[in-house]
Amino acid sequence: MDIERGVPVAKLTTIGTGGPAKALARPRTAGELSEALRYAREEALQVLVVGLGSNVLAADDGVDALVLRLEGELAGVEVRDDALAAGGGATNAVCLHRARDAGLGGLEFACAIPGTAGGGVFMNAGAYGHDCSDVIARALVVSAEGKQWRTAEELGLEYRRSALLPGEVVAQVEFRLEARAPDEIKATVADLVARRKDTQPTNKRTFGSVFKNPPGGLGAGRTLELCGLKGHRIGGALISPKHANFIENAGGATSADCVALMVEARRRARDQLGVELEREVVFAGLPELPPLT
Determine, following the binding rule CB under 6 A, whether residue 254 of this chain makes contact with ligand FAD.
no
Determine, following the binding rule CB under 6 A, whether residue 88 of this chain makes contact with ligand FAD.
yes
Determine, following the binding rule CB under 6 A, whether residue 116 of this chain makes contact with ligand FAD.
yes
Q: From 43-51, 148-156, 226-234, 267-275, give the range in contact with ligand FAD by CB under 6 A.
A: 43-51
Instruction: Name the residue nearer to ligand FAD (CB basis): 60 or 248.
Output: 248
Element (H, E) at 171: strand 169-176
Q: Which of 41, 160, 233, 279 is catalytic?
A: 160
| Catalytic residue list contains 168 | no
Determine, following the binding rule CB under 6 A, whether residue 54 of this chain makes contact with ligand FAD.
yes
Smallest Cα–Cα separation from 74: which of 14, 25, 110? 25
Determine, following the binding rule CB under 6 A, whether residue 34 of this chain makes contact with ligand FAD.
no
Q: From 123-131, 210-218, 271-279, 285-293, give the range in contact with ligand FAD by CB under 6 A.
A: 123-131
The residue within the footprint of ligand FAD, chosen from 105, 106, 167, 208 (CB under 6 A), is 208
Distance of alpha carbon 273 from alpha carbon 221, whole angstroms: 13
Determine, following the binding rule CB under 6 A, whether residue 245 of this chain makes contact with ligand FAD.
no
Distance of alpha carbon 76 from alpha carbon 43, whole angstroms: 29
Q: Which of 34, 162, 209, 255 is catalytic?
A: 209
Q: Do residues 143 and 132 lie in contact, with contact meaning Cβ atoms separated by under 8 Å?
A: no
Q: From 3-11, 32-40, 113-121, 223-231, give the range in contact with ligand FAD by CB under 6 A.
A: 113-121
Give per-residue burial for 121-156: e unless 16+ CB within 10 Å, then b: bbbbbbeeeebbbbbbbbbbbbbbeeeeebebeebe
Determine, following the binding rule CB under 6 A, whether residue 50 of this chain makes contact with ligand FAD.
yes
| Catalytic residue list contains 34 | no
Q: Do residues 234 and 264 lie in contact, with contact meaning Cβ atoms separated by under 8 Å?
A: yes
Q: Which residues contact 133 (CB under 8 A, 6 or more apart)?
A: 124, 126, 152, 157
Q: Do residues 236 and 255 lie in contact, with contact meaning Cβ atoms separated by under 8 Å?
A: no
The residue within the footprint of ligand FAD, chosen from 20, 53, 167, 221 (CB under 6 A), is 53
The residue within the footprint of ligand FAD, chosen from 9, 10, 36, 52 (CB under 6 A), is 52
Cα dist from 93 to 55, 66, 259, whole Å = 16, 26, 29
Instruction: Name the residue nearer to ligand FAD (CB basis): 56 or 258.
Output: 56
Determine, following the binding rule CB under 6 A, whether residue 282 of this chain makes contact with ligand FAD.
yes
Determine, following the binding rule CB under 6 A, whether residue 286 of this chain makes contact with ligand FAD.
no
Cα dist from 196 to 65, 94, 218, 221, 223, whole Å = 34, 19, 18, 14, 19
Distance of alpha carbon 210 from alpha carbon 247, whole angstroms: 7
Instruction: Please tell me whether residue 156 adopts helix, strand or coil conformation.
Output: coil
| Catalytic residue list contains 267 | no
Instruction: Name the residue nearer to ligand FAD (CB basis): 25 or 169.
Output: 169
Binding site for ligand FAD (CB under 6 A): 14, 48-56, 70, 88, 112-116, 118-120, 122-123, 125-127, 164, 169-170, 206-209, 282
Residues acting as catalytic residues: 160, 209, 280
